[in-house]
Amino acid sequence: MRSFAIASSIAAVAYASPSVETKFEEFIQKFERKYTDNEKAHRLKIFKDNMAMIEASNSQNKSYTLGVTPHTDLTLEEFKAQFVGGFIPMKAENMTMFEKPVGVDPPDSVDWVKDGAVTSVKNQGNCGSCWTFSATGALEGAMKVAGRDLVELSQQMLVSCDTGLLGGHGCSGGNPAQAFGWVKSNGMCSSADYSYKCVDAKADACTSAKCGKDTCTPVLKKGGFFHKGDVTAYGSVGQSEGELEAAVARQPISVAIQADTAVFQHYTSGVLDDAACGQQLDHGVLAVGYGTDSGHKYWKIKNSWGPTWGDSGYIRILKGSTEKYGECGIREMASYPTVAPKPASEIVV
């Protein structure tokens, strides 16, 4: 009887905790991986190493949880090379600086996702185009706040067309604030009209993509000598917590962070406050709110690594950090666009 009880206990533990090999097979199915035999053995070894790190981190009962993401079969170096590095810093010269209005206290919490000013989570793939997703997200939010319809805008238009001397560099990176200026002068089409081609940056669909800004119907109209466009201005945000908080309370804001760490590779939930998250900006994302969870103040961030990464594509980052520019450098280089309300002639009564 005692042997049977022990065997039953072992079986129960095994049932409760699938082996790493089982988790790897589930990972392969979920993310539709196709490996050769040799590659599969190599990826299993990496997966095991990552799972050991994940379990060690979670055992410390931190304010965040790590787990299996689309990147768990990659080394940290591979993850950094493929998915981080698309943000190019730019000095805030000749831009309006948003500062917290005197005497105005922002609400205790904000969530633009719940308020209907944020579109679906996208996947940039291995193209360094995070700057275009950050920029279009801020433009989409600004449209909604201005009373316009929420329309998913085209990242590919920026990847293929915003390439002038002072422009972006497609899959090699760019800056959201610069992109706002380009849209102000050139307009912007919807993603339905001008779809994204660069989930695989090396695929023919991406490498052969040409600028087709004159072949689609602009959702945001460009400005000219005799008329203003729909994007009327763009600016940067002051670097204090209060200034970014006040800015996010008005609309979703483009921000940059350092994301080349293992905690970003494997994040699944909670409020990230890991000391490994530094101040070297390398990834553009979208601040869509803030709040407090179990005593931890946080910024709510929309990422562009697809809905199967993180918390359904989102991450919450510590708010109120003593770091110079906040956790992960989030307060250093925030920017935003201003969109005009829909013209009276276009309003359907």
Q: What is the structure's pLDDT at 276?
A: 76
Whose tokens are 């079969």? That residue is 73
Q: Is residue 71 part of a domain?
A: no
Contact status, residue 159 vs residue 169, Cβ threshold 8 Å: no
The tally of domains found in the chain comes to 2
Question: What pLDDT is recorded for position 4?
Answer: 42
Domain boundary among 21, 39, 64: 64
Establish whether 283 is a catalytic residue. Answer: yes
- The reply to whether 187 and 223 lie within a common domain is yes
The answer to whether residues 115 and 243 belong to one domain is yes
Give the pLDDT confidence score for residue 344 in this predicted structure: 65
117 and 37 in one domain?
no
- Cβ within 8 Å of residue 45, ≥6 positions away: none
For residue 334, the enclosing domain spans 79-343
Full DSSP string of 199-260: SSTTSHHHHT----TTSS-EEEPPP-SSS--SEEEEEEE-SSHHHHHHHHHHS-EEEEE---
Q: Which of 130, 171, 206, 328 is catalytic?
A: 130
Q: Is 130 a catalytic residue?
A: yes
Whether residue 47 is found in the same domain as residue 185: no
**pLDDT tens for each residue of the chain, 349 residues long:** 444 444 444 444 434 468 999 999 999 999 999 999 999 999 999 999 999 999 999 999 999 999 999 999 999 999 999 999 999 998 867 788 898 888 888 999 999 999 999 999 999 999 999 999 999 999 999 999 999 999 999 999 999 999 988 899 999 999 999 999 999 999 999 999 999 999 999 999 999 999 999 999 999 999 877 778 999 999 999 999 999 999 999 999 999 999 999 999 999 999 998 777 899 999 999 999 999 999 999 999 999 999 999 999 999 999 998 788 999 999 999 999 999 998 766 665 4
CA dist., res. 119 & res. 174, Å (int)? 21
Q: Are both 36 and 118 inside the same structural domain? A: no
| 14 conformational bin, left if phi > 0, alpha if psi -120 to 50, beta if neither | alpha
Residue 102 in domain = yes
Query: Is 70 a domain residue?
Result: no
34, part of any domain: yes
Whole-model pTM: value is: 0.92
Residue 126 is among the residues annotated as catalytic for this protein: no
Residues 48 and 101 in one domain: no
Query: How many other C-beta atoms are found inside a 10 Å radius of the C-beta of residue 212?
Result: 15
d(C-alpha 144, C-alpha 149), whole Å = 6
Whether 41 and 91 share a structural domain: no
| 18, 47, 50, 79, 267 from 22: Cα distances, Å | 6, 11, 15, 23, 21
Q: Confirm whether 127 is domain-assigned.
A: yes
